[in-house]
Amino acid sequence: MSIEIFNTLSRSTESFEPIGDDREVKMFVCGPTVYDYAHIGNAKTFTQFDFIVKYLRYRGYDVHYLQNITDIDDKIINRSRERGTSWRELADKYRDIFIDDMRALGNDAVTEYANATDFIPQIVDQVKRLQE
């Protein structure tokens, strides 16, 4: 039995077909900006993606689920200044709390978390390519 999904680009229902290997799925989800506690909107979003990944795995797909953590931006810098702490300390604290909170909700399907600060050169390159 195939999995049917709605493709918002084509505006039609289509059979789900992974790119490349027919049982391997690579999924990227933009994660939180970690300057404060997660809220119900975060929980809703990440619970939905957790459900999708678990369903795909149940159906026999090998899913690599990557979620980024935005661990530097204006909100983080401003909040760290307000609290008299470093942006890194603030981001690390709320990143850990976010992951703990998601696990407490049963959202444990993420294969790998990636801090934005670990990929700054790649982000800059991507922005340049988008501008071109």
Assess contact for 115 and 76: CB atoms under 8 A: no
Domain of residue 111 covers 20-121
pLDDT at 76 (0 to 100):
98
Instruction: Measure the CA dihedral 5/6/7/13, to 10°.
Output: 90
Do the domain assignments include residue 3? no
pLDDT at 2 (0 to 100):
87
Do the domain assignments include residue 4? no
Do the domain assignments include residue 42? yes
Q: Using CA atoms, how far apart are residues 75 and 84, in angstroms rounded to an integer?
A: 14
pTM passes above 0.85:
yes
Task: Name residues whose C-beta falls within 8 Å of residue 93's C-beta, 6 or more positions apart in sequence.
Answer: none
Per-residue pLDDT of the chain (132 residues; tens, 9 = 90+): 789 999 999 999 999 989 887 899 999 999 999 999 999 999 999 999 999 999 999 999 999 999 999 999 999 999 999 999 999 999 999 999 999 999 999 999 999 999 999 999 999 999 999 999
Do the domain assignments include residue 127? no
Residue 115 class from Cβ within 10 Å (0-12 exposed, 13-18 middle, 19+ buried)? middle
List, edge to edge, every strand of the sheet that includes 24-29.
24-29, 62-69, 112-115
Do the domain assignments include residue 87? yes
Instruction: Measure the CA dihedral 87/115/51/13, to 10°.
Output: 120
Do the domain assignments include residue 106? yes
Do the domain assignments include residue 103? yes
DSSP state, residue 115: E
Q: CATH code at 88? A: 3.40.50.620
Do the domain assignments include residue 88? yes
Tell me the three-class secondary structure of 66-108, residue by residue.
EEEEECCCHHHHHHHHHHCCCHHHHHHHHHHHHHHHHHHCCCC
Q: How many folded domains does the chain comprise?
A: 1
